């Protein structure tokens, strides 16, 4: 409701809206708001403070509002075309005082009309070069200030123009367009190299340009692709650079790894023969196994886990680096370790013939694989022999072979298969996804198909599961705060239900055990190292200090995110290099594949990589077929396959 003393009612005003002055008619006036109507007839509530100009001479109502506002807009357009702030600044900058908009309108236009004031005021509010604002008065900048700002604005404009050109150059390179000039190549290479050098200071502007060029690919990958096209040799492996992975450890961490003194640990009461089983090239050896047969079909098995907690002081230089890295990252071109080599590959690694500190989980298994007793203790053991998976599988295939390692392997494999069957009966989901190992040496790409279902790999996996279960059970029984991995049985497909982290022990449906935690890779996973410290503290180890529940959650939440990013980087790297290999060597030849359930995708049999599938007739799922590559793009991770016939056509072609 309007007040008795109406200040604005029935008046044309100009109010500030998103940096512009908008003319409108005041139709209602309250204590805190004016209601105005613009030329389109739309009503809007406006604060009186936003009204900067009043057209006293213009009386209007809703019947003639549109022509009145049109007349004001026409006059504004004419005055705006004449306005030159540079000329106005030349007139007033030596007066060294503040001017209100009315004075400046009179100086430039020769009149103080509301329309002239409105035009001038709108431009002054938008000005960043000639005038500064003090409330509703304006002061001309000095000549030196204006010149400095002119140079700055010029640079900003050049940046904008340069950005457009950079974006165009990137597109031309990636799309195979016109080749850039030598000067453009040099400038672009320098800019992209600087961008990649430090992941923590990567320019947002350039990142935006790269993303704009190829939205579906991470910016760092685009930068490297362009640099390779430009012929720039990079001193860091491709995906280590993409992931912003550290190239080395800091001096403090290196020094600590050499100087740290591990605590004394007791030797076992009796001599044991412990074996390690790993890939041939593995240097971070973090688990070993030993066993002793007992009467009545009982087998005493010890799972020995490397003890980096003895070498990595909590909150020390190595610990901070390990927390930041979260895990060892395995890329086709390189390995970026979580801990310095002095610890992960030497002093804490379970090297054959050497005495090493370990955290031993000892169990007694009955003839049917039932768990009869268990214990956990730190100690010192000498590693008896190192085996790789291929050699271990060969030993297991040759039944009755003599030798301590072969005998131990036989006992361990029999026990592992009983443990697996018991888990299967408890509801565990046991499946094996085919996997490849990809190695890149300079320009050579090597691809090896891994049999994850081999006897020795199953053996090792089963005892790591058992060791992790015993640790989780110990924590649950003793109310020790640790992070459990839980997967409640909620019905549906357990494979599709992701495990989650919890401070409370719960059933893990996918593994088929009442509780579960992960502690078996402390040389390679920071979360495992943290939980190893937690176990040592609970076992009364003098040098260990326990984490409280909040500390665990904070640390492990950060680590879990970083580790997930590392796993995704490993996945992308492996797919990229397999696609590069196929692009070079298998573009035109028929390939063996398995058509998957949906009928629209297939997995290449020799490369364990999936792609979309086109042109298939009706087949049952999981059918063996022959395919050819239709489209392939390593940068975008794209693989499109075309049906080439039934699988027997491959043999006919051969």
Same domain, 310 and 191: no
pLDDT digits (tens, 9 = 90+) for 7-21: 788 889 999 888 789
Using the predicted structure, report yes or no on whether residue 195 has a pLDDT greater than 80. Answer: yes
* Cα(317)–Cα(426) distance, integer angstroms: 44
Q: Using one digit for the tens of pLDDT, what is the confidence trace for 562-603?
A: 888 899 999 999 999 999 999 999 998 999 999 887 678 899
Express each pLDDT in 497-551 by its tens digit: 677 888 889 999 889 999 999 999 999 999 999 999 999 999 988 777 889 988 9
CATH number, residue 591: 2.40.50.140
- Out of 507, 539, 568, pick the residue that ends a domain: 568
Is the domain of 333 the same as that of 357?
Answer: yes
Judging by beta carbons within 10 Å of its beta carbon (0-12, 13-18, 19+), is residue 364 exposed, middle or buried? Answer: middle
Q: Is residue 2 part of a domain?
A: no
Number of alpha carbons in the 13 Å side-chain half-sphere of residue 512:
15
Q: Look at residue 310 and tell me if it is in a domain.
A: yes
- Residue 654 in this model has a pLDDT that exceeds 60: no
pLDDT tens per residue, range 396-416: 998 777 789 999 999 999 999
- Same domain as 288, residue 200: no
Q: Mean pLDDT across the chain, nearest whole number? A: 88
**Calpha distance 301→293 (Å, rounded):** 9
pLDDT of residue 216: 80
**Does any domain span residue 612?**
yes
* Residue 619 belongs to a domain: yes
Bridge partners (DSSP) listed for residue 147 = none
Render pLDDT for 65-99 as a digit per residue (tens, 0 to 9). Answer: 888 888 888 888 888 888 888 888 888 888 888 99
Per-residue pLDDT at 118 exceeds 90: yes
Q: Say if residue 154's pLDDT is above 60.
A: no
Segment of 181-190, 228-237, 284-293, 540-549 carrying the highest mean pLDDT: 284-293
State percent of the chain over pLDDT 90: 50
Residue 640 in this model has a pLDDT that exceeds 80:
yes
Residue 118 is assigned to a structural domain of this protein: no
Residue 562 lies in a domain: yes
Q: Picking from 106-120, 190-204, 322-336, which range would have the lowest pLDDT averaged per residue?
A: 190-204
CA distances from 74 to 11, 57, 67, 71, 120 (A): 19, 16, 11, 5, 15
Cα-to-chain-centroid distance, residue 295: 52
In a domain, 337, yes or no: yes
pLDDT tens column, 386-398:
999 999 999 999 8
Domain boundary, last residue among 568, 595, 621 = 568
Distances in whole angstroms, Cα of residue 608 to Cα of each of 312, 334, 619:
38, 21, 21
pLDDT at 1: 36
Q: Name the band, by pLDDT with cuts 50, 70 and 90, for residue 165.
A: confident
What was the pLDDT predicted at 160?
Answer: 66
Percentage of the chain beyond pLDDT 70 is: 93
Shared-domain flag, residues 317 and 176: no
| Residue numbers of the domain that contains 149 | 144-235
Q: Is residue 101 part of a domain?
A: no
Tell me how many domains the chain contains: 3
Domain termination residue (choose one: 568, 601, 617):
568
Three-class DSSP labels, 504-541? CCCCECCCCECCCCCCCCCCCEHHHHHHHHHHHHHCCC
| pLDDT value at 2 more than 80 | no
What value does the mean pLDDT take over residues 625-652?
Answer: 87
């Amino acid at each position: 409701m309007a007040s008795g003393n109406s200040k604005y009612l029935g008046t044309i005003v100009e109010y500030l809206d998103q940096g512009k002055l908008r003319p409108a008619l005041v139709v209602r006036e309250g204590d805190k708001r004016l209601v105005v109507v613009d030329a389109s007839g739309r009503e809007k509530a406006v604060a009186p403070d936003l009204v900067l100009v009043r057209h006293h001479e213009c009386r209007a109502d809703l019947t003639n509002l549109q022509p009145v506002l049109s007349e004001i807009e026409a006059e504004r357009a004419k005055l705006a075309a004449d306005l030159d702030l540079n000329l106005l600044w030349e007139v007033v900058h030596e007066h060294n005082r503040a001017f209100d908009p009315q004075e400046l309108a009179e100086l430039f236009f020769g009149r103080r009309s509301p329309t002239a004031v409105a035009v001038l005021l709108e431009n002054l509010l938008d000005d960043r070069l000639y005038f500064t604002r003090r409330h509703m008065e304006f002061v001309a900048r000095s000549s030196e200030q204006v010149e400095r700002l002119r140079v700055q604005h010029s640079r900003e404009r050049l940046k904008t123009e340069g950005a457009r050109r950079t974006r165009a150059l990137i597109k031309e390179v990636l799309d195979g367009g016109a080749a850039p000039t030598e000067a453009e190549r040099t400038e672009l290479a320098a800019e992209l190299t600087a961008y990649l050098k430090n992941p923590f200071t990567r320019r947002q502007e350039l990142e935006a340009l790269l993303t704009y060029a190829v939205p579906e690919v991470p910016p760092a990958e685009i930068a490297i692709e362009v640099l390779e096209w430009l012929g720039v040799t990079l001193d860091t492996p491709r995906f280590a650079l993409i992931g912003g992975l550290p190239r080395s450890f800091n001096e403090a961490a290196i020094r600590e790894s050499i100087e740290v003194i591990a605590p004394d640990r007791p030797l076992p009461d009796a001599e044991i023969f412990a074996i390690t089983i790993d890939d041939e090239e593995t240097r971070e050896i973090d688990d070993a196994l030993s066993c002793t047969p007992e009467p009545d079909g009982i087998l005493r098995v010890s799972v020995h886990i490397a003890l980096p907690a003895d070498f990595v002081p909590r909150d020390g230089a190595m610990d901070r680096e390990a927390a930041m890295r979260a895990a060892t990252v395995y890329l086709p071109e390189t390995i970026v370790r979580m801990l310095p080599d002095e610890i992960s590959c030497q002093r804490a690694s379970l090297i054959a013939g050497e005495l090493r500190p370990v955290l031993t989980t000892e169990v007694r298994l009955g003839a049917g694989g039932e768990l009869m007793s268990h214990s956990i203790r730190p100690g010192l053991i000498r590693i008896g022999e190192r085996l790789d998976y291929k050699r271990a599988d060969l030993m297991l295939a040759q039944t009755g072979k003599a030798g301590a390692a072969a005998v131990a392997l036989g006992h361990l494999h029999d026990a592992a298969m009983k443990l697996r069957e018991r888990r299967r009966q408890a509801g565990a989901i046991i499946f094996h996804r085919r996997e490849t190992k990809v190695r890149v040496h300079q320009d050579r790409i090597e691809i090896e198909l891994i049999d994850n279902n081999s006897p020795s790999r199953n053996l090792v996996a089963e005892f790591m599961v058992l060791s992790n279960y015993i640790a989780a059970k110990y924590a649950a029984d003793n109310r020790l705060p640790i992070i459990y991995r839980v997967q409640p049985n909620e019905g549906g497909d357990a494979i599709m239900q992701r495990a989650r982290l919890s401070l409370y022990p719960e059933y893990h449906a996918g593994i088929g055990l009442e509780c579960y935690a992960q502690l078996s890779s402390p040389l390679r996973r920071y979360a495992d190292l943290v939980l190893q410290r937690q176990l040592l503290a609970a076992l009364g180890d003098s040098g260990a200090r326990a984490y409280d529940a909040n500390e665990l959650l904070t640390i492990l939440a950060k680590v879990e995110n970083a580790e997930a990013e590392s796993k995704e980087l490993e996945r992308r790297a492996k797919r990229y290099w397999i696609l590069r290999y196929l692009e070079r060597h298998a573009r035109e030849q028929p390939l063996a594949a398995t058509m998957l359930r949906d009928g629209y995708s297939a997995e290449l049999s020799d490369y364990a990589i999936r792609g979309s599938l086109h042109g298939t007739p009706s087949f049952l799922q999981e059918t063996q077929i022959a395919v050819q590559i239709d489209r392939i793009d390593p940068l975008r991770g794209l693989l499109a396959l075309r049906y080439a016939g039934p699988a027997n056509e491959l043999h006919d072609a051969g």
